[in-house]
Structure 1
């Protein structure tokens, strides 16, 4: 049966930024597909809620509250998976993000922080995970990039640059780690998470964003989680070094920030 190729029975995954949004939906989806999960974010209470949902599927979750802006904390999750579950098969580098900022307000330090939070943390965990992935016979890494890593919009210089770097990091890491470890990325569009709360809860802004999206809707975290299950399961076993665009068909930004021309 083709659906059997989407099963992850007996696998172990690490998901960063898993307290809510895409990370929480991904952890639950991987558990529903058969995996035990190590989940991490800043807020223990959010992780406890996700752990309870994972338990309802019959799988196990191990919560690690941590500040994942520190790459060392991200790297430590690989050992946590092996110590808790005895193996590691899947890494989902979901944590990331950067506030919009005009170019002249984007200091070099701000740009470096964006790169560190979106790229360096992913590299730290991926690098730390490789020995365990190889010991398990191979594995899969998925990095969460963004549509803003390939389209241009005012105010997204730091965020878009970091996400573009993460997309190309994916291609380069896939070349280095083939054939045993597959590395792919999901470039997400506008998804109804806390980061988009101001838009989701404003009917006028939501209508503007939806009307500028070819599929005429804002994505749900489960849209991204489904793509991650595909990429990490045997169903995606012949895919590596690719960026899967799950963005409702966007080719341009679907909501401008309204930053004025410089004078």
Structure 2
């Protein structure tokens, strides 16, 4: 599934080509996504000028002078800019025709993504209203995690993957951040000190920033806004490396299931 770095990579790739442009028309070929694309979406977006692109958690918000389109890439969705006349492939479900002549094209084989429209403040939308801190913001730090963890017995990995506390820390980046911070993923959240949570918050910021810089993790179904896959997967320390030597100590990387997700860690380097 595209995670925060992949969505941010998409935003950065598309923003220079979309901001300030007018959407002349839209073509919705398939409305049956995770939530149906509303019947009059084309009417809302036709003639709208795109003001800015914003990412909130894993959502891409396209602010226009008429309202806001909310995209979610789901498990296999991607947004790309293509030339007019580019052949429509299977699973190319939506096109926005821009005044530049380019088309913004949404491709989603599994159809778990979504395109929604709101004329109100998107931050108040049901999907966004209860989201937690942005991990790369100044508001997110060790105090955020320490306060949220008090009295909790759940594993720390499931705590940092809770979008009501901090958004966008998916399975890959949770494992990598905990490794960098030297914290075992199954350690009870309520038993971790404020100092160690600050180390973890710093690690989350570092891992996500590095992933964004590298263009997002290479996943089978994800393609960035510029049509190129990311390369962060080449730098993973523990995720998906069960049995391989730890890059720090050389001992084998372990795995276990936490919160129904595969989790990877080094028993020696993480305590």
* Shorter-chain TM band: under 0.3
Q: Greater Rg, structure 1 or structure 2?
A: 2
- Pick the structure with more strand per residue: 2
- Pick the structure with more helix per residue: 1
Q: TM-score normalized by structure 1?
A: 0.26
